[in-house]
């Protein structure tokens, strides 16, 4: 496995302050010093788009980083002020050694508070999607729209923890057993909590080429009060495999 490669296992995977008026940053170039501290953990993020545009927050998959949203970030930045976060244990954020979906949820909510962001469009892929569900359940009034890519909440299964690949990684390997452990246990509370999500929700499935059971996505869509399920049959990494169609589906849904 290459350094920085993704383990998609959870389904199993303020602009002025950031740059000033008229500034534009490129998502994918991390480490420029942008970050906030949540508790004792510093979270790195990058931002693109124009100040004053509606905020969109992007949550990446396990083993990835905010820069992995690069295939669609520029398109989103034409309409939003886009914040691409490195989760704890990933990329340029701190690697504290303690990891869970709930800790990541709390990190996201703290980041929204510290950046002074009110309601946001929240987008999550794989592990990031599982965290996005939890954010939308915990504080429904913070999420204007919810967009989740090819993941349901954790459901029980038996998945072995893979061996750590040789060489350096762009994430803390301790995240992998922590998240796989939660995934294997399942989370009935999260499934039950889908019903309290008030944000209009777009769920994009990867179809039969994805390792995610697509019937689980249908079950999610049936529980969230206002959820649209769209399938782009290119596998689990929809926004990477077919970025133009992914962005088109998102914008069409937002305008509906």
Looking at residue 9, what is its pLDDT? 35
CATH 3.40.50.1820 fits 15-255, yes or no: yes
Query: What is the reported pLDDT for 224?
Result: 98
Residue with tokens 């509606």: 54
Residues whose CB is less than 8 angstroms from the CB of residue 189 and which lie 6 or more positions away in sequence, other chains included = none
Question: In a structure prediction context, what are the per-residue pLDDT tens digits for the chain, which is 256 residues long?
Answer: 223 333 333 333 333 333 333 322 233 333 344 999 988 899 999 999 988 899 999 999 999 999 999 999 999 999 999 999 999 999 999 999 999 999 999 999 999 999 999 999 999 999 999 999 999 999 999 999 999 999 999 999 988 899 999 999 999 999 999 999 999 999 999 999 999 999 999 999 999 999 999 999 999 999 999 999 999 999 999 999 999 999 999 999 999 8
What confidence score (pLDDT) does residue 33 get? 47
Show the 3-state SS of the chain: CCCCCCCCCCCCCCHHHHHCCCCCCCCCCCCCCCEEEECCEEEEEEEECCCCCCEEEEECCCCCCHHHHHHHHHHHHCCCEEEEECCCCECCCCCCCCCCHHHHHHHHHHHHHHCCCCCEEEEEECHHHHHHHHHHHHCHHHEEEEEEECCCCCCCCCCCCCCCCCCCCCECCCHHHHHHHHHHHCCHHHHHHHHHCCCCEEEEECHHHCCCCHHHHHHHHHHCCCEEEEECCCCCCHHHHCHHHHHHHHHHHHHC
Residue 169 half-sphere exposure, CB side, CA atoms within 13 Å? 20
Sign for the CA dihedral angle at 109, 240, 6, 86 comes to negative
Look at strands 35-38 and 41-48 and give their pairing. Answer: antiparallel
Strands lying side by side in the sheet with 55-59 = 35-38, 41-48, 81-85, 55-59, 120-125, 143-149, 201-205, 227-231
- Residue 20 pLDDT: 34
């Amino acid at each position: 496995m290459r350094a920085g490669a993704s383990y998609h296992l959870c389904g199993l995977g303020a602009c002025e302050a950031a740059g000033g008026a008229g500034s534009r940053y490129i998502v994918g170039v991390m480490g420029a010093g942008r970050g906030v501290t949540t508790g004792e953990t510093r979270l790195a993020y990058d931002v693109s788009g124009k100040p004053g545009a509606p905020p969109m927050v992007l949550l990446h998959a396990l083993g990835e980083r905010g820069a992995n949203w690069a295939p669609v970030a520029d398109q989103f930045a034409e309409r939003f002020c886009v914040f691409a976060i490195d989760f704890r244990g990933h990329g340029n954020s701190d690697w504290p050694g303690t990891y869970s979906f709930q800790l990541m949820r709390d990190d996201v909510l703290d980041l929204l508070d510290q950046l002074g962001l009110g309601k946001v469009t929240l987008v999550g892929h794989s592990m990031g999607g599982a965290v996005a569900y939890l954010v939308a359940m915990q504080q429904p009034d913070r999420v204007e729209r919810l967009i989740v890519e090819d993941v349901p909440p954790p459901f029980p299964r038996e998945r072995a923890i893979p061996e750590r690949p040789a060489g350096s990684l762009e994430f803390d390997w301790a995240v992998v057993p922590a998240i796989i452990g939660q995934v294997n246990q399942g989370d009935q509370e999260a499934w039950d909590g889908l019903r309290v999500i008030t944000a209009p929700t777009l769920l994009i499935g990867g179809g039969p080429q994805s390792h995610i059971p697509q019937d689980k996505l249908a079950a999610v869509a049936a529980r969230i009060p206002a959820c649209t399920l769209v399938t782009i049959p290119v596998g689990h990494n929809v926004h990477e495999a077919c970025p133009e169609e992914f962005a088109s589906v998102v914008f069409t849904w937002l305008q509906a």
